[in-house]
Amino acid sequence: MRNATLPTLCALGLAGLLGLAAPNAFATGETGLYLGGGAGQTHGDGRFNDEAEHWKLVGGYNFSWLPFIDVGGELAYVNADSLKGSANGQAASLDVDSVQATGVLGWSLGPVGLYGKAGMADWDAERRGAGIDADLSGTSPVYGLGVRAGLLDVTGRLEVERLDTDDIGNLDMVTASVVYTF
């Protein structure tokens, strides 16, 4: 009887641990390809200390390898409206768009999660004003933090990002977006 009790207790213990781990397995973000879009505010600094609206298209792939950890990669296109400011002592505007490639690391807490991202952005800017006509471009770091909440395959996200460039000043972006995981 004693020999049968130990395997039974081990099996019950293992089943109990798997039962406790099952809700955590469903707590991770969805694994797979995702696409989405959003809108928000861009805030410039330096000579273009102004706010403008922007829109964003995003696509990526998320791997949910561990119960609480999400790892992924993301590509995004961001297009901002004109920031007002000055250049060479004259009133000017700055229009910026960028293509971003970032790595994403997240922590799932049930249907919500927190994430951070870091990568590089290839940006183009048009500076226009009286006697000013300049096209600028470059590649600069981009990084940010966000929170997400999902229901089935649809996830709402709110994130804060910074495009860290010396040429046109830093651009801080707050974006609300919706993504769909396939």
Give dist(CA 37, CA 178) in Å, integer. Answer: 6
Query: Which helix (DSSP H) or strand (DSSP E) does residue 165 occupy?
Result: none
Q: What range defines the domain where residue 110 resides?
A: 2-181
pLDDT at 2 over 90: no
Give the pLDDT mean for 9-28. 45
Contacts of 140 (CB under 8 A, 6+ apart): 120, 121, 123, 163, 164, 165, 166, 167
The more confidently predicted of residues 27 and 129 is 129
Give dist(CA 124, CA 120) in Å, integer. Answer: 13
pLDDT at 94 over 60: yes
Whole-model pTM? Answer: 0.81
Give dist(CA 83, CA 63) in Å, integer. Answer: 37
Query: Which helix (DSSP H) or strand (DSSP E) does residue 24 occupy?
Result: helix 2-26
The more confidently predicted of residues 177 and 68 is 177
pLDDT at 19 over 70: no
- Write down the mean pLDDT value for the chain: 85
Please provide residue 31's backbone torsions phi and psi, each rounded to the nearest 5 degrees. -80, 135
pLDDT band at 13 (very low <50, low <70, confident <90, very high): low
Q: Provide the domain count of the chain.
A: 1
Give the CATH number, domain containing residue 30.
2.40.160.20
Give the pLDDT mean for 150-169. 93
DSSP codes, 54-66: EEEEEEEEEE--S
Give 139-155 pLDDT, tens digit per residue: 999 999 999 999 888 99
Please provide residue 165's backbone torsions phi and psi, each rounded to the nearest 5 degrees. -130, 140
pLDDT on residue 167: 87
pLDDT at 177 over 90: yes
The more confidently predicted of residues 47 and 81 is 81
- The residue type of 121 is A
pLDDT on residue 143: 97
Q: What is the number of alpha carbons within 13 Å of residue 157 lying toward its C-beta?
A: 30
